[in-house]
Amino acid sequence: MAFTAVLQSEWTKIRTVASTSWTLALVFLVTVGFAALFSATFDPNRLDAAQRATFDPTATSLSSMELGQLAMIVFGVLVVSTEYSTGMIRTSLAAVPRREHFLLGKMAVATALALAVGLLTSFASFFLTQALLGDLGIGIGEENVLRAVTGAGLYLALLALFCMGVAAMLRSSVAAISVLVPFFLIVSNLLVGFEATRTVGQYLPSNAGGRIMQVVPHAFDSPETPYGPWGGFGIMVLWTLAAVLGGYAVLRKRDA
Amino acid sequence: MIELEGLTKRFGTTTAVDHLSFRIRPGVVTGFLGPNGAGKSTTMRMMLDLDNPTSGTVRVYGKHYRDLSEPLKHVGALLDAKAMHGGRSAYNNLLCLAQSNRIPRQRVDEVLDLVGLTAVAKKKSKGFSLGMSQRLGIASALLGDPEILMFDEPVNGLDPEGILWIRNLMKGLAAEGRTIFVSSHLMSEMALTADHLVVIGQGKLLADLPMADFIQQNSRSYVRLRSPQQERLKDLLHEAGINVVSVPATGTLEIDGVSAEQLGELAARHQIVLHELSPQRASLEEAFMRMTADSVEYHAHAPGMAADNPARPADVPAWGAAHTATRKAGE
Ligand SMILES: Nc1ncnc2c1ncn2[C@@H]1O[C@H](COP(=O)(O)OP(=O)(O)O)[C@@H](O)[C@H]1O
Ligand SMILES: [Mg+2]
């Protein structure tokens, strides 16, 4: 079976359901909207000396991703789990019985789309915020800034893929969303918040992967990390790989 | 074509399919008959490689289904009419399936037309009635113009018009020389459409024979007797070497292979009063119910129903066993 045929089929699937457009539109609107709101109301006089020294205008553009990523989680989950909730999975697998083709095709198409939306979101957010920050703003040509902004787009794509893997393991929208949203929104932040759990917390996918978005090392009083931006990203890649393999194992083993 | 060998599926402690072996013959309609819960759907899911067998194999053209390249061009199936993404239009649901098997786009329009859904092609399929969903499912089965078609209880829940439509469609597809495998829990439905019968009960093969043979074996007539001197009558019949079956539910005796005249005369000779002496013809539905009586999970407790009667030795012809044996010998 031609893999390109599967890609084409999955592209048709993804572009013909409403959930794709509203989740991805939310990723963009929430991220860009909150970044704009935050920088438009930003008052540099409220910063103390230390904060001023580590002020990271790039991170200011990208911090709203914390919220925007929730919609990306939903996107990643729904791409996979609606196959199960609608019963389409049986029709899909009867047409493409090779599980690796089916899953890889779906993940490739959805991840590519998430990457496109992710990059669009991070660049739009960056340029809009920097314009609003005025004198405090920074150019894309400054050291490490391009890496951080591109990295934010990569982060969103990887996050979507991670969620697809988890959804393939759990096979239910409700189960996957109710595990992933609290995990990314609360658990990840909570664990790095406490000294005792920080080392563990720093290795969670969003904390490790998010390091790529920082330009100034200790911006916003963030703690020291045992890895650099790409090292952190690599950790998130490993998490994602594990989720994808887990999802594939479940798809292979369990009855459709 | 399609061959099942020792196919077995267990869900926890339930054995849904139990060492099932049979072959689907090309170019005919094979009816897959069994009471609810017999394991028909599970068997069909395993045929499409959706459920993993606990043991045994299914071969389609000698291959595992998973190894068929572009399977929709060989096998089309309608298992569950609702197995589509409801938020997607009928057209797009079919388009993504067509693309995965490199089926040209115009074929989507063709099959939509064939099942009469052209007018609602752009509508989301979640608004479809069961009849329309069934048509959409059939359109998806026909997409690849496959040689083999499988339908799981296609008439369930349909209105009479829908039922008629499906029956005619299947006849038309069979007339084109396609192989059709269709399940049902109703003998009467099968009698109308199938050329060949595979009967299962509790996951086990009970019969595998041409429809004509089934009808011939089961449209046999028998004579029903009722008498206030039933015990004496029974003894007499035994002495005469006549096989008798008592049906406690109705208080009657049933006799095979002896005419009503002979029985009447025999009773008269011994001065036995008869309250009933009537030639009967067994319906196919009754024959099927008797056949699966031991294997239905929940008996219907309607008095006098054949399913409530103990299976009678005379009524269990060597269907499954003997027939399979002859076939094997002939191969
Ligand atoms: N996914 C499942 N999990 C557990 N038991 C199942 C599952 N699917 C079917 N069964 C059981 O297997 C048996 C056969 O079911 P099924 O194949 O649906 O029968 P039929 O289609 O002939 O009505 C039933 O006892 C049913 O309860
Ligand atoms: Mg069934």
pLDDT in the model for residue B136: 96
Question: Residue A188's domain spans which residues?
Answer: 3-253
pLDDT in the model for residue B327: 38
pLDDT in the model for residue A220: 64
pLDDT digits (tens, 9 = 90+) for B226-247: 999 999 999 999 998 998 888 8
**Alpha carbon distance B106, B110 (integer Å):** 6
Q: Are residues B163 and B84 in the same domain?
A: yes
Tell me the nearest-neighbour CA distance from B47 into chain A, angstroms.
10
- Measured from the Cα of B152, ligand 1's closest atom is 21
The yes-or-no verdict on residue A223 having pLDDT over 80 is no
Question: Which of B181, B215, B249 finishes a domain?
Answer: B215
Domain CATH number, residue B208: 3.40.50.300
| B34 CB burial (10 A radius; 0-12, 13-18, 19+) | buried
The secondary structure element, H or E, covering residue B2 is strand B2-11
**Alpha carbon distance A89, A111 (integer Å):** 19
Question: Which of B192, B215, B238 finishes a domain?
Answer: B215
The yes-or-no verdict on residue B161 having pLDDT over 70 is yes
Residue B113 is assigned to a structural domain of this protein: yes
CB half-sphere exposure, B30, CA atoms < 13 A: 23
- Measured from the Cα of B45, ligand 1's closest atom is 17
pLDDT in the model for residue B199: 95
Give DSSP secondary structure letters for A150-216: HHHHHHHHHHHHHHHHHHHHH--HHHHHHHHHHIIIIIHHHHHHSTTTHHHHTTSHHHHHHGGG-SS
* B63: DSSP letter: B
Domain count, chain A: 1
Q: Are residues B205 and B227 in the same domain?
A: no
The secondary structure element, H or E, covering residue B210 is strand B204-210
Q: Do residues B153 and B130 touch, judged by C-beta distance below 8 A?
A: no
Torsions phi, psi for B54 (to 5 deg): -70, -40
Q: Are residues B248 and B101 in the same domain?
A: no
Residue B170 is assigned to a structural domain of this protein: yes
Exposure b/e, B126-164, CB count within 10 A at least 16 = b: eebeebbbbbbbbbbbbbbebbbbbbbbbbeebeeebbe
pLDDT digits (tens, 9 = 90+) for B211-226: 988 887 777 778 999 9
Question: Residue B238's domain spans which residues?
Answer: 221-281
| B111 CB burial (10 A radius; 0-12, 13-18, 19+) | buried
Q: Are residues B228 and B190 in the same domain?
A: no
The yes-or-no verdict on residue A146 having pLDDT over 70 is yes
Q: Are residues B95 and B117 in the same domain?
A: yes
A52 touches chain B (CB under 8 A): no
Which stretch of A149-158, B63-72, B256-265 has the lowest confidence by average pLDDT?
B256-265
The yes-or-no verdict on residue B1 having pLDDT over 70 is yes
The yes-or-no verdict on residue B303 having pLDDT over 90 is no
Quick one: pLDDT band at residue B330, thresholds 50, 70, 90?
very low
Q: Is the overall model pTM greater than 0.80, yes or no?
A: yes
Q: Which one is predicted more confidently, B109 or A190?
A: B109
Q: Do residues A72 and A156 touch, judged by C-beta distance below 8 A?
A: yes
Domain CATH number, residue B261: 3.30.70.100
Q: Which residues pair with B16 in a beta bridge?
A: none
pLDDT in the model for residue B295: 62
Please give the average per-residue pLDDT across A243-250, as a whole number. Answer: 98
Residue B302 is assigned to a structural domain of this protein: no
Q: Are residues B104 and B226 in the same domain?
A: no
Residue B229 is assigned to a structural domain of this protein: yes
CB of B233 sitting under 6 A from ligand 1: no
Question: Helix (H, G, I), strand (E, B), or coil: what is residue B71?
Answer: helix
The yes-or-no verdict on residue A202 having pLDDT over 50 is yes
Mutation to probe ligand 1, out of B32, B36, B42 (largest number of atoms < 8 A from CB)? B42
Residue B12 is assigned to a structural domain of this protein: yes
Nearest Cα residue to B1 out of B70, B74, B66: B74
CB of B36 sitting under 6 A from ligand 1: yes
Q: Are residues B263 and B184 in the same domain?
A: no
Residue B315 is assigned to a structural domain of this protein: no
Q: Are residues B226 and B206 in the same domain?
A: no
Residue B294 is assigned to a structural domain of this protein: no
pLDDT in the model for residue B289: 79
Residues 6+ apart with CB under 8 A from B79: A90, A94, B41, B44, B45, B48, B50, B150, B152
Question: Which of B170, B195, B215 finishes a domain?
Answer: B215
Q: Are residues B85 and B225 in the same domain?
A: no
Q: Are residues B158 and B262 in the same domain?
A: no
Q: Do residues A74 and A166 touch, judged by C-beta distance below 8 A?
A: no
Q: Write down the ipTM of this complex.
A: 0.92
Return the residue matching tokens 């029974």: B234
**Alpha carbon distance A68, A148 (integer Å):** 17
Domain count, chain B: 2
Mutation to probe ligand 1, out of B4, B8, B9, B14 (largest number of atoms < 8 A from CB)? B14
**Alpha carbon distance A138, A129 (integer Å):** 10
pLDDT in the model for residue A189: 85
B72 touches chain A (CB under 8 A): yes
Which stretch of A188-202, B145-159, B191-205 has the lowest confidence by average pLDDT?
A188-202
pLDDT digits (tens, 9 = 90+) for B252-283: 998 988 889 999 999 999 999 999 999 887 77
